[in-house]
Amino acid sequence: MKEERKTMLIVISGPSGVGKGTIFKRLLDNDKSLTFSVSVTTRKPRIGEEDGVDYFFITDAEYQDLLEKDAFLEHATVHDHSYGTLKSQIEEKMALGKNVVLDIDPQGARQVMAKWPDCVSIFLLPPSYQALHDRLYSRKTEPPDVIERRLNNARGEIDSAGLYQYNVVNDDLELACAQATAIIAAEKQRTNRYFPVVE
Amino acid sequence: MKEERKTMLIVISGPSGVGKGTIFKRLLDNDKSLTFSVSVTTRKPRIGEEDGVDYFFITDAEYQDLLEKDAFLEHATVHDHSYGTLKSQIEEKMALGKNVVLDIDPQGARQVMAKWPDCVSIFLLPPSYQALHDRLYSRKTEPPDVIERRLNNARGEIDSAGLYQYNVVNDDLELACAQATAIIAAEKQRTNRYFPVVE
C-alpha cells in the first residue's frame, strides 16, 4: 500500500483564557506528526528563555527587514515589541513531513487564514463568559485592567467564531481534546492531502 | 451552554468487497446520532425480509410515479428490478435530529453527491486489488463471473476516489473504523453545522 500525504498547517485560536495552550500541548504530546513554530520577537529574552527554543530573538532592524520581505505569515506589535511567525519556518517543517500547529490569538489567526487559505482552522470557545472571567482571574498572571481588556476583546472574538472551519467548546477538557484530535485525524484523510495508491 | 446543530448526510462508498457494510454497521452501533435510510425496491421480498425494515417494497407503477416526481436522491435499475433512496426519508430523519448515513455503491454515491452537495463523502479503498479479489472470492456469495465484473468495476471506482472528500483505506478494520469515526466527529464541529452560543 503506497500512500502520499501532503502536510498541513493547523491554526488553533480562541480568546485569552480559553485553554488554547493546554489543548495545544496535549495535541503535540499525543501526535508525533505535529510540530510547532518558534516565533521571532524583538523583545529581550527573559531569564530561562533560550534563542531558537522559546523565540528567535531578533533586532528591530532585522524585524523591519523581514517585514519588508513579506516574510511573516502573521505579525503584531504589542507595547513596543514586535512578534511574528515566519512563513519559511512553516514551509521547512512541512517539507520535512510535519504538520505544523499554531497556538495563536484571533488577530494573528485571521492573518494566517488570509495568507494560508488551505490551513485547518479551529476556534476554541469557553462554555460561558463567566467561565472565561473566572479562568482569567484564577490564573493570577495579569492585573485586573488587562484581564478586563481581554474579556472585552473576547466578545468580538467569539462573535467571529464562524470564520473558522471548526468550533470546539472547552468545557470538559478531555472532550475538547478528543474533538480537536478527531478534527486533525479527519483532515489527514482529506482527498486534497491524502492520496492512497492501490496496486 | 446553548448549542445548535444542523444534521448531516454521510455517504460511505467504495468498491464491492471493500467492507462498506461492516464499517457502516460499526458506525451505527457506536454513534446514536446516526441512522440509516431504508431504500425502496420493485423486487419481491425474499423470505424473512420485512417491508419498511429491509426495504419499502413498491410496484413498478409506484416507482415510475416517484421517478417522475424526482423523489429519489439516487436510483438504479439492475436486472429488471429498480432501487432508490427517497429524498423525503432523509429529510424527515434529519429533521428529527439524526445524521443519516448511506452505505452505497459508487454509482449511487455520485448521484447523491451531485444532488446533495453538502453531504459528507467517504470513500473506502482496499489495501490492494489482490486483497479485494481475495475478499470477494472468500465471501462465496457470488459466481466467478459476477466477481470478475465487480473487480473490473473496482478499477474505475478506485480511480475516482478523489471525487470524495475523504479516503479511508480498509486494511486494518479497527483503524479504518477509527478514521471514519474521527471524520464524522470532526464534521459535527464544522462551523456550517455547529453553532455554539456563549452567554
Residue A50, pLDDT above cutoff 90: yes
Instruction: Quick: pLDDT tens for A109-160.
Output: 999 999 999 999 999 999 999 999 999 999 888 889 989 999 999 999 999 9
Q: What is the mean pLDDT of the segment spanning A1-14?
A: 94
pLDDT over threshold 80, residue A73? yes
pLDDT of residue B126: 97
Residue type, A42: T
- Structural domain count, chain B: 1
pLDDT for A95 beyond 90: yes
- Find which of A11, A113, A189, A190 to mutate to test the B interface (most B CBs within 10 Å of its CB): A189
The per-residue pLDDT for B114 is 96
Q: What share of chain B is helix, strand, coil (3-state, %, to 5)?
A: 45, 25, 30
Residue A19's pLDDT band (cuts 50, 70, 90): very high
Instruction: Kindly determine whether residue B167 and residue A1, on different chains, have CB atoms separated by under 8 Å.
Output: no
Q: Per the structure block, which three cell numbers stand in for B37?
A: 435510510
What is the model's pLDDT at position B142? 85
Residues 6+ away with beta carbon under 8 Å from A148: none
Residue A183 pLDDT > 80: yes
Rounded to two decimals, what is the model's pTM? 0.94
Report residue A193 as a C-alpha cell: 492531502
Instruction: Give the pLDDT of residue B94.
Output: 97
Task: Tell me: pLDDT of B1 over 80.
Answer: no
For testing contact with chain B, the best of A12, A132, A198, A199 (most B CBs within 10 A): A198
Across the interface, whether the CB atoms of A185 and B165 are under 8 A apart is answered: no
Percent of chain A with pLDDT over 90: 91
Retrieve residue A113's grid coordinates. 487564514
CB-nearest partner of B186 from A128, A129, A182: A182
Residues whose CB is less than 8 angstroms from the CB of residue B173 and which lie 6 or more positions away in sequence, other chains included? B19, B22, B23
Which pLDDT does position B78 carry in this prediction? Answer: 83
Q: Which of B187, B191, B198 lies nearest to residue A128, judging by beta carbons?
A: B198
Reply yes or no on whether the pLDDT at A80 is more than 90.
no
Residue B31: per-residue pLDDT: 97
Output the average pLDDT for chain A.
95
B97-143 residue pLDDT tens:
999 999 999 999 999 999 999 999 999 999 999 999 999 999 888 88
Q: How far apart are CA B71 and CA B89, in angstroms?
A: 10
pLDDT on residue A139: 83
User: Structural domain of residue A115, as residue ranges?
Assistant: 2-197
Contacts of A194 in chain B (CB under 8 A): 166-167
Yes or no: say if A126 and A17 are a contact pair by the CB < 8 Å rule. yes
Phi, psi of A18 (to 5 degrees): -80, -15
The pLDDT, as a whole number, for residue A68 is: 97
Residue A2 pLDDT level (bands cut at 50, 70, 90): confident
Q: How far is A76 from chain B (nearest CA, A)?
A: 27
List the CATH number of the domain containing A189. Answer: 3.40.50.300
Quote the CA–CA distance of B9 and B13 in Å, as a whole number. 13
Mean pLDDT on B166-180? 97
In the predicted model, is pLDDT for residue B63 greater than 80? Answer: yes
**Closest of B95, B146, B107, B154 to residue B128, by C-alpha:** B154
Does the beta-carbon distance from B167 to A129 stay under 8 Å? Answer: no
Q: Which residue's C-alpha cell is 495545544?
A: A24
Contacts of A174 in chain B (CB under 8 A): none
Give the count of beta carbons closer than 10 Å to the beta carbon of residue A100: 22
Residue B198 predicted with pLDDT over 80: yes
Mean pLDDT of B65-71: 96
